[in-house]
Amino acid sequence: MSRQTGRWRTTGTQSEESKLSKKNFFIFLLLFLRCLSLSYPLRLPRMSVVVVFHNEPVSTLLRTAASVARRTPGELLREIIMVDDDSDLGECLKIRG
């Protein structure tokens, strides 16, 4: 098996796993509703979210960054850092919130 074939096999598998996670959205919704019932301190520190990836499809990375940005209050999110762990893509993204 060539490296290119392996790359596409890995990427395809990861894309399928991403599609499967949509089917489990109901579970995540229940967890989210549970979190709403908890009490949190009024003042929380700002945070950075670091996502380390290796040969992930760009669509999955964009969906991850968008999900973090959408679900995190703006006053708490300092930045989203995407770190490429030596992918064949050779990209590293840094998106400031």
Strand intervals (E) in the chain: 47-53, 77-84, 93-96
pTM for the model stands at 0.54
Q: List the domain range (segments joined by +) for residue 15.
A: 3-96
Count of structural domains, the chain: 1
pLDDT tens track for 17-76: 666 566 677 788 888 888 888 888 889 999 999 999 988 888 899 999 999 999 999 999
Which of 4-13, 27-36, 61-70, 85-94 is the least confident region?
Answer: 4-13
Residue 80 to residue 61: CA distance in whole angstroms: 11
The number of angstroms, rounded, from the C-alpha of 76 to the middle of its chain's C-alpha atoms is 17
Handedness of CA 84, 15, 80, 52 (dihedral sign): negative
